[in-house]
Amino acid sequence: MYRSFPAIRVEGLADQQGLGADEVKDRRRQYGSNIILEKPPSGWRNIIGDTSRDPMVWFLIGTSLLFAWLGNYTDAAVLAAALVPIIGMDAYLHRRTQATTEGLSGRLAARAEVIRNGVRAEIPAIELVPGDLAIVAVGSPFPADGLIVGGAGLQVDESALTGEAMPLRKQVMANADTEITLDRDEIDIDTVHWGVAGTRLLTGEARLRIVFTGAETLYGQITRSAQTGKQERTPLQNAIGSLVVTLVVVAVVLCIALAAIRYYQGYGILDAVLSAVTLAVAALPEEFPVVFTFFLGVGVYRLARRQALVRRAVVVENIGRITCICTDKTGTLTEGRLHLAHILAAGDTDQNFVVKIAAMAARPESGDPLDILLHKATLIPAETRLETFPFTEDRRREVAIIQETTGARIAAVKGAPETVFAMTRLGDEDREMWLAKTRELAESGHKVIACAFRTLDRWPGGEPDRDYDLVGLLAFEDPVRDGVGDAVARAQAAGIRVIMVTGDHPATAMAVARELGIGRKNPHVIEGADLAAQLGHADSGGVLDIDVIARTIPSQKLDLVRALQQAGEIVAVTGDGVNDVPALQGADVGIAMGERGTRPAREVASIVLLDDNFRTIVRAIAEGRQLFFNLKLSFAYLLMIHAPLVATAALIPLSGFPLLYLPVHIVWLELIIHPTALLVFQQLPSSDDLEVVKRRSKIRFFDTKEWAVIGLVGALITFLIMLGYHYSLGIEQDVGHARSMAMVALVIASATVTAALSGLRSRSAFIIVILTVGSAVILVQLLPFADLLHMSPLHLVDWFIAALGGLFAGSFAALIPLFQRKN
């Protein structure tokens, strides 16, 4: 893995004396303070502000004052006392929502030891600036991101970022001061030489040349993505907003109607107001947007541990829905490092001479990996480059005019074999032979270039384009990354299309696709020039029959993305260069390469891969699907419990019976429903397994079967509550006893739904189920609590009936996870 950073950050800092005072001031003015984690709002004032936005609080205050005004001081006191657990729950959930972010602060350094002006000093970590030379002691966290330039036997705990429990060995970068002064905008450094803020040094003492501080550190990016991403609205957010508005309008209408009917039935103004207000609070669906926002934040951190840095939290909604991945080849499917695998020399030409000619035509300063590799592969004597005719996509060759130390002038050319062959004096038969060799190498996944030269007795200028002597072929290979084949197989088995988009030769692309199993045994490969015709013949609603696109240009990549989206695909696109920016922006999920990606690509992408590996994409999709499924479970729970609550809060009073729910009962239920929806399902464990997801022309949060289960469970719980209430009221002639039967049935049903949906696979699920059932036992069976809640203790047979009914109704919720596994 590699990290990129601007060379200017540390350029010229070769000595070990550290920065001077004036340099520190200039750099702090330029880069700001090292505030990696913004301190979240805290304290009583903030908690009070958040709590004041909870409608439940105002409901309790209003009803408590109403009871007090009417002289019912006991109920007023009970409701006032209920403010304590409600505010306590708000305070806990307020802290719990920020727990992931604040949990990182415990791994951040509060102070740092640095060398400045040759003197070791301890300073607050927020005062560090890029270029500082920090000393990290054993057991201490790295105070910022930077280059390891000193130390021995270093091991680092990076589990907070990667989830990897084993310590990672780090190495000092030899010749660091030489490397970072290269005349390039971006420097690529292997992460074995890189220290990251928040990770902890386990052995040795390290010297760290600070490169990134504050929001630019990896930790800083993760925390800010969770905060800033919440400002964007997604289709699901808009749908939730519409649902909330609809439910609120319906609730207002029902409340007004209920109040009028209760008053008309002769129950008095107090009963009418209480029934209307209680129904309003029961029907208020404030949990839905809260749960959604909370899950987005959780998703950011879970994906970061999968080496996928989410830059906009709202993308968490889409990543689990991906049905097609348009991936580049080099560095994502392959290692991204060319190796010279074969040298085919012409005639009795020495193999070293073939490499030498290719190196003469290469320009390592261009940054082209192939040019750099060629110069490292051979020693070239001192020479004078008189002219260069660079490689372009149209020319497909590079020519250099070289004057050797002997005074002789030669023209050296390297490039696409068919182009170079046309410039040589090869006969037709020989040319076909060399083309056959080229095809053979290309079909086995090699990148093949041809090399030729000619002597120039006199050179009037311009590019020589004929009469060259072929010296041979060079075949390079870029090995497939370990595990990528398995990842491709898993993705395709789960119904996710994988399309390779590359600028390589079609035969090379075909060989890699076959090795990885992309598409089929004989992948359908086309060239970028043929893409427009292919798209023109594709049905608007059909699936494009393409597995590999070779020799593409950026506009063609964007056209492919748009065509796939029109065909109903949710498209993820990988890219690393400026030319990938349009496709990254146009995709449903743009994925930039963190190791070799350019800054523009990383800026427009919604996800940055920290390891540039296709396996990470598949793992992120698996994580995204689990997160989305967790969110579905949370919403299913809310619907299954809220619907019966609202229905019975309206139907029983409308039927002319005494009120089922009093304000204090809504408080009790709120203390169960809110933490269950927020805490239970987001902790369900992730898996690398990818289940098959059916394609649909229109994305729906719940499918027909799931809605049927939600409706069935809601109807059964509603029927159970009303039956228990009517049965007990008719037998006991005691409203308190009837309320107890109804409340126990609803609470047991809530616990059963929670257990059925979660499978009790998280610690919080187990705890909340126990507390939910325990609350029913304590509040119903202990007479002092039962009196305060206007209920009566139940007989053993009543408990059996209510519990059995709750278990029966709630157990059907287990069908939703079952449908998910079969979907």
Per-residue pLDDT reduced to its tens digit, 166-222: 577 888 876 554 445 444 566 767 778 888 887 888 888 888 888 888 888 877 776
What is the CATH number assigned to the segment(s) 339-477?
3.40.1110.10
Q: What is the mean pLDDT of residues 431-457?
A: 88
* Element (DSSP H or E) covering residue 157: strand 154-157
Which pLDDT score, from 0 to 100, does residue 817 have? 83
To 5 degrees, how large is the angle CA 813–CA 816–CA 817?
Answer: 110
Q: What is the pLDDT of residue 578?
A: 56
What is the pLDDT, as a whole number, of residue 338?
Answer: 77
Distances (CA, A) of 463 to 354, 360, 392, 401, 420: 21, 15, 14, 8, 13
Closest by alpha carbon to 614, among 496, 696, 441, 447? 496
What does the pLDDT look like over 775-802, one tens digit per residue?
A: 999 999 999 888 888 889 988 988 998 8
The domain 232-301+621-822 is classified under which CATH number: 1.10.287.610, 1.10.10.10, 1.20.1110.10, 3.40.50.1240? 1.20.1110.10
Q: Alpha-carbon distance 628 to 634, whole Å?
A: 10
Q: Residue 257, Cβ neighbours under 10 Å: how many?
A: 14
157 neighbors 35 (Cβ within 8 angstroms)? no
Instruction: Pick the range with the lowest mean pLDDT from 39-43, 232-236, 411-415.
Output: 39-43
Average pLDDT over residues 735-754: 91
pLDDT of amino acid 104: 46
Who's near 289: CB < 8 A, 6+ residues apart?
237, 240, 241, 244
Which amino acid, one-letter code, is at 572?
Answer: A
Write down how long the chain is.
823
Give the mean model confidence (pLDDT) for residues 76-96: 60
Rg of the chain over CA atoms, in angstroms?
A: 34
Q: Give yes or no for residue 466 having a pLDDT over 60.
A: yes
784 burial level (CB within 10 Å; 0-12, 13-18, 19+)? exposed
pLDDT band at 229; cut points 50, 70, 90: very low
192: number of Cβ within 10 Å: 15
What CA–CA distance (Å, rounded) separates 412 from 656?
98
At residue 587, the pLDDT reads 85
SS (H, E, C) 723-746: HHHHHHHHHHCCHHHHHHHHHHHH
Residue 687 CB neighbour total at 10 angstroms? 12
652 torsion bin: left (phi>0), alpha (psi -120 to 50), beta (else)? alpha
- What is the average pLDDT across 740-749? 91
pLDDT for the residue 51: 59
Tell me what pLDDT residue 452 has.
95
Rounded mean pLDDT, 739-748: 91
Mean pLDDT of the chain: 78
- What distance in Å separates the CA atoms of residue 338 and residue 122, rounded to the nearest whole number? 45
C-beta of residue 645 within 8 angstroms of C-beta of residue 746: yes
The CATH architecture to which 2-39+112-215 belongs is Distorted Sandwich (2.70)
Helical packing angle, 735-758 and 663-675, nearest 10°: 10
Neighbours of 219 (CB within 10 A): 26
| Cα-Cα-Cα-Cα dihedral sign, residues 778, 779, 780, 783 | positive
**Tokens, residue 520:** 């089929």
Give 468-502 pLDDT, tens digit per residue. 999 999 998 888 888 888 888 888 888 888 998 88
pLDDT in tens, 589-601: 888 877 666 666 7
Q: Can you state the percent helix, strand and coil of the chain, rounding each to 5? A: 55, 15, 30
Per-residue pLDDT tens over the stretch 297-324: 677 777 777 777 777 666 777 787 888 9
Q: Which residue has the tokens 């609470």?
A: 747
Give the pLDDT confidence score for residue 75 in this predicted structure: 58
Residue 413 pLDDT > 90: yes
Q: What is the pLDDT of residue 755?
A: 92
Out of 3.40.50.1000, 3.65.10.10, 3.30.870.10, 3.40.50.720, the CATH code matching 308-335+481-612 is 3.40.50.1000
